Amino acid sequence: MTVPRNVLWFEVLLYLSLTLDAVSVAFQDRTPTPKMTEQMIGTGTLMAAGLILLLVYLVRLAAEHRKNWPRWVLTAVLVLSVISLAQMIGEKGIQFDSGIEVISCALTAAGLYFSFTGDAVGWFNE
């Protein structure tokens, strides 16, 4: 059975977004400060990596195993990311890392749009 075009776009755009997130985490400033110890920085990095891997698994479940619920989890994660991004921009303004997050959120939103429209309708099992 061939994968519908919109499902393929969903998968590609979500993987691009997660790759961008991984690159963003890899290049974060890891300089310890009095507020942020080296152990806290390491823990945060490991948690971010774990979350990215979980999201990759959810994309795979949705696209390749035709599961419906991971799309809704990914949609909820997108909503939380947009709220977090809005708070970050409100506090610090637009910076390089927030610009990357905007692009990542846009890719995710576009991918999720494709998963709910066109020939993707009916692809996912309940």
pLDDT in tens, 9-49: 999 999 999 999 999 998 888 899 999 999 999 999 999 99
Residue 111 has pLDDT above 70, yes or no: yes
- The Cα–Cα gap between 56 and 59 comes to 5
Considering only the C-alpha atoms of the chain, give the largest distance between any 2 of them, rounded to a whole number of Å: 56
Helices (H), 31-94: 38-65, 69-92
pLDDT (mean) for 59-81:
96
122 CB-contact burial (10 Å; exposed 0-12 / middle 13-18 / buried 19+) = exposed
Residue 126 has pLDDT above 70, yes or no: no
Residue 98 has pLDDT above 70, yes or no: yes
- The Cα–Cα gap between 23 and 76 comes to 22
pLDDT (mean) for 48-64:
97
Cβ atoms of 63 and 11 within 8 Å: the answer is: yes
Apex 31 CA angle, 44 and 46, nearest 5: 20
Interacting residues of 122 by C-beta distance below 8 A, sequence separation 6+: none
pTM: 0.92
Confidence band, pLDDT 50/70/90 cuts, at residue 97? confident
Helix (H, G, I), strand (E, B) or coil at 82: helix
The pLDDT, as a whole number, for residue 91 is 93
| Segment 66-75, tens digit of pLDDT | 999 999 999 9
**Least confident piece of the model among 55-59, 79-83, 101-105, 122-126:** 122-126
